[in-house]
Chain A
Amino acid sequence: MSARQELAIGRLVQMTTSDQYAQPQRSSDVAEAQRPVEVSPKIKAEVEGLNFFYGKLQALKNINMVFNANQVTAIIGPSGCGKSTLLRCFNRIHDLYPDTRYEGKILLQPSGINLIGPETDPLEMRMRMSMVFQKPNAFPKSVFENVAFGLRLRGIAGNELKDHVEQSLRAAALWDEVKDRLRQSAYTLSGGQQQRLCIARALATDPEMLLFDEPTSALDPIATSKIEDLIFDLKRELTVVIVTHNMQQAARVSDYTAFMYLGELIEVAPTKVMFENPAIKLTEEYITGHFG
């Protein structure tokens, strides 16, 4: 992305008081007008006035932002700021728990379906999204079965299943390490391998968006860098959202960064702009380590 484009988008982020929220406008249009040659980002999901409640506790307050297709958006912020809560809206995992409530919209493009609307079946959203969790949560089954499970749910079997499993393991950069032990329990793998297995499992179902919830917080630096490389590559195929409390990680892997604080979205901007020249004082304080 050109510096000009970044600047154009970055300046769209405006916010003066904590009652207003950052919403980048259709930045792609602006960029396109200026640089018709360059392929501009398409919007994958638009969050509009999203509120989320755990019982009486409001965990997300009027979130407005867009997620660009084929880009990595990082969500950063201190513990309890609602970044995981926001991520978990996308595959409706909140619906598993009682007393949770959504307000507002998350429009999934190009169809424009409201992901959190009452008319939308959470099951459909979970079939279209994939999530990689904080702690590697491979099933206590074989390596093969771990990746195959989501495919079996979609009625894929036989050789097609095998091919898909292999492709997914390759895409997760795990194939060479496990090709001779597909029948062994996933629990014989190391923590980093297990997390890549979870990524393979998430990729196997060919999702539109891949949601990472602090995927490396339980891993050592080498495993972490492998996964970061992966995330960087994955955006060619799909839209990636990554929640992280590691700011260096956000800076390394993401195209856009959103900063959240106490359930509010404080600022969203291209990652470079965000880390070099944040528009909001609070963001700057967080990024420079004054709190959090």
Chain B
Amino acid sequence: MSDFKRIIVKRKRQDFIFNIIGIVCTLVGILTLGALLADLLIDGLARINWVFLTSFPSRFAERAGILSSWVGTLLIMLVTAFTAVPLGVSAGIYLEEYARKNWVTNLIEINIANLAGVPSIIYGLMALGLLVYQFRLGQSVLTGGLTLAFLILPIVIVATREALRTIPQGIREAAYALGSTKWQVVRHHLLPYSLGGTMTGIIIALSRAIGETAPLITIGALTFIAFLPPPPIKTQPPFLSFEWLWSPFAVLPIQMFNWVSRPDQDFVVNAAAAGLVLIVVTLLLNAIAILIRYRVRKRIKW
């Protein structure tokens, strides 16, 4: 009896010790994030107002705003989403459902996983050589958006495949057994059922892209820009305009980078405020991703 007690006490102690270690480790992460947010809030919150959001950058810290950079970020994200999502989802579907499993597809698979780990500045260098110099797309919104699209393409592909893999094989067999073609199975079953996972992956990927600085600096994003790209909607036919694609741009992280590197303390406050905006947008995107995942999980349980 006493033997049992001794062993139990010993093992419970181990349990307790790991419990403490776990709490400490978790706190390190949470406290760091908390400190970061608190610091940004203390420095930047007072600076955020309507004028800050609707003003161009300026030589004077108190007049400077983030209008051109948040519009730039928004437009870049539009281009990124509109290119990376169709490309990535299609490639993911192809690899998972259509491609024969052999050494070539294995090689592609390994390389896509590797691409997701390539440092973002490498993508910037590639975009500079290919998009700016070779295709002469200029240092434009289009170039920036495509660069980030390349960057997140592997993430979107991997997310799509993962989402497809969670669909039980029995569902595919049921659909095929009714006489569906591959495309009908994809279109009517696999795509809708995997939408939650795919959307989550896409949003996480976009929220990574939104904070990227290095590749955009490499291709020549501006740090000081006092005008907006031409509007996408016009009053005269054909009403839609894509001129904005060719416009130079600034983005939030680069605007921050620029402000932080100035000696004037007031500009550092601006940087904190811009950072706060960026973090809020990222958190919002993640919240949407979580919401979608939650709703889909409630609807579809395998």
In the complex the two chains form, is A96's CB within 8 Å of B180's CB? no
Contacts of A130 in B (CB 8 A): 177-178
Which of B168, B178, B301 makes the CB contact (< 8 A) with A153? Answer: B178
Min CB–CB distance A172 → chain B (angstroms): 15
In the complex the two chains form, is B301's CB within 8 Å of A139's CB? no
A127-145 interface code vs B (CB 8 A; 1 in, 0 out): 1011101010111100000
* Number of A-B residue pairs at CB separation under 8 A: 59
In the complex the two chains form, is A93's CB within 8 Å of B176's CB? yes
Which of A96, A153, A187 makes the CB contact (< 8 A) with B184? Answer: A153
Q: Would you list which residues of chain B between 51 and 83 have a CB under 8 Å from chain A?
A: none
Interface assignment of A198: CB less than 8 Å from any CB of chain B = yes
Interface assignment of A126: CB less than 8 Å from any CB of chain B = yes
A126-B178, A139-B174 given; A98·B168 CB < 8 A? no
Min CB–CB distance A186 → chain B (angstroms): 11
B112-134 interface code vs A (CB 8 A; 1 in, 0 out): 00000000000000000000000
Interface assignment of B288: CB less than 8 Å from any CB of chain A = no
State the main secondary structure of chain A at its contact with B.
Answer: mixed
In the complex the two chains form, is B177's CB within 8 Å of A131's CB? yes
Which of B178, B181, B300 makes the CB contact (< 8 A) with A140? Answer: B300
Contacts of A126 in B (CB 8 A): 176-179
Interface assignment of B293: CB less than 8 Å from any CB of chain A = no
In the bound assembly, the distance between CA atoms of A201 and B299 in angstroms comes to 21
In the bound assembly, the distance between CA atoms of A123 and B300 in angstroms comes to 28
CB closest chain-A residue, reference B170: A137
Interface assignment of A185: CB less than 8 Å from any CB of chain B = yes
In the bound assembly, the distance between CA atoms of A98 and B170 in angstroms comes to 17
Interface assignment of A104: CB less than 8 Å from any CB of chain B = no
Q: List 10 A-B residue pairs with CB atoms under 8 Å apart, sorted by A's residue number.
A: A96-B172, A98-B100, A127-B179, A131-B174, A140-B300, A149-B178, A150-B179, A153-B179, A187-B301, A201-B178
- Interface on A for B, CB 8 Å cutoff? 91, 93, 96, 98, 123, 126-127, 129-131, 133, 135, 137-140, 149-150, 153-154, 185, 187, 198, 201, 205
